[in-house]
Each structure stands twice: as structure tokens, then as C-alpha cells.
């Protein structure tokens, strides 16, 4: 999630630098936050669960927090018209998609990094 926060901040700075428009930068930032905040809630919810002997309870907990994450994302996207003045939907979607895709790059980077540590 730290990579997502870093990329979200970089996207906001780049959009402000490229467009010079504060509304576009805020829209990009809100799109990034629409990924980061639900992911943080999901991580917090999963970390609070005690390791369960029952596999069914563990799967239910995962599905429950994933549903919460999706619902929170939808609520944030729906509320964006009211929360962000002069919202730019294309800019918000760029922030959302790029921040979401960073997760997969971070997973790949960490697996390569940790596999090299194990080899040495």
C-alpha cells in the first residue's frame, strides 16, 4: 500500500505540473484515495482477525472485508460529485486506475526482491 500512496502523490504532482489546474490535481488525488482508503480498511480488517483454525471462517472473513472494500470504493466514487468541486472524471479515473495497477507491480517487485534475498 505504501507504493500506492507514493504513486498517488506522484500522480497529483505530475498532473498539477502538466496541467497547472488544481481541480485536475484534486481529481487525480481523489481517484487515488478511492483505491488507497478502501485498501487500508481491508488490510486493517484482515489484520484484526485472529488466525482461525476453521478455514471456512477465514474465507468468510476475507470475503466480508473484500465486500466492504468494494462497497467503500463505490460509495467514494458516487460521492465524488459532491465532495470534489469541479471534478474531472477522466483525471479521477486515471488516478484510480494507475493507483490500482501499482498494486500488481509492487507484488511483482517484492517477490523478485525477496527471492533474491533467499538465494544469497
pLDDT by residue (tens digit) across 62-94? 899 999 999 999 999 999 989 988 899 999 999
The domain total for the chain is 1
Residue 10 is part of which domain span?
2-108
Give the per-residue pLDDT at 47. 80
**Is 29 contained in some domain?**
yes
**Is 117 contained in some domain?**
no
- The stretches of 20-54 forming alpha helices (DSSP H) are 22-48
**Is 47 contained in some domain?**
yes
**Is 51 contained in some domain?**
yes
Burial group, residue 62, by CB count within 10 angstroms (0-12, 13-18, 19+): middle
Give the per-residue pLDDT at 35. 93
CA torsion angle 55 58 64 68 (round to 10): -150
In Å, what is the CA distance from 102 to each residue of 10, 35, 49? 12, 11, 26
Residues with Cβ < 8 Å from 74, sequence gap 6 or more?
none
State whether residue 50 is helix, strand or coil: coil
What per-residue string of b and e applies to 67-88 under the rule 16 or more CB within 10 Å gives b? Answer: eebeebbeebbeebeeebeebb
- Over 60: is that where the pLDDT of 46 sits? yes
| Residues 22-28, mean pLDDT to the nearest whole number | 93
**Is 116 contained in some domain?**
no
**Is 113 contained in some domain?**
no
The reported pTM is: 0.80
Give the per-residue pLDDT at 103. 73
**Is 95 contained in some domain?**
yes
**Is 60 contained in some domain?**
yes
Amino acid at each position: 500500500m505504501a507504493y500506492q500512496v507514493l504513486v498517488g502523490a506522484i500522480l497529483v504532482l505530475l498532473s498539477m505540473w502538466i496541467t497547472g489546474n488544481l481541480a485536475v490535481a484534486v481529481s487525480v488525488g481523489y481517484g487515488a484515495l478511492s483505491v488507497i482508503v478502501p485498501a487500508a480498511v481491508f488490510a486493517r480488517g484482515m489484520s484484526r482477525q485472529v488466525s482461525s483454525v476453521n478455514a471456512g471462517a477465514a474465507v468468510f472473513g476475507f470475503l466480508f472485508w473484500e465486500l466492504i472494500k468494494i462497497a467503500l470504493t463505490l460509495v467514494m466514487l458516487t460521492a465524488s460529485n459532491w465532495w470534489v468541486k469541479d471534478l474531472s472524471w477522466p483525471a479521477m479515473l486515471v488516478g484510480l486506475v494507475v493507483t490500482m495497477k501499482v498494486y500488481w507491480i509492487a507484488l511483482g517487485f517484492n517477490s523478485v526482491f525477496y527471492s533474491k534475498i533467499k538465494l544469497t
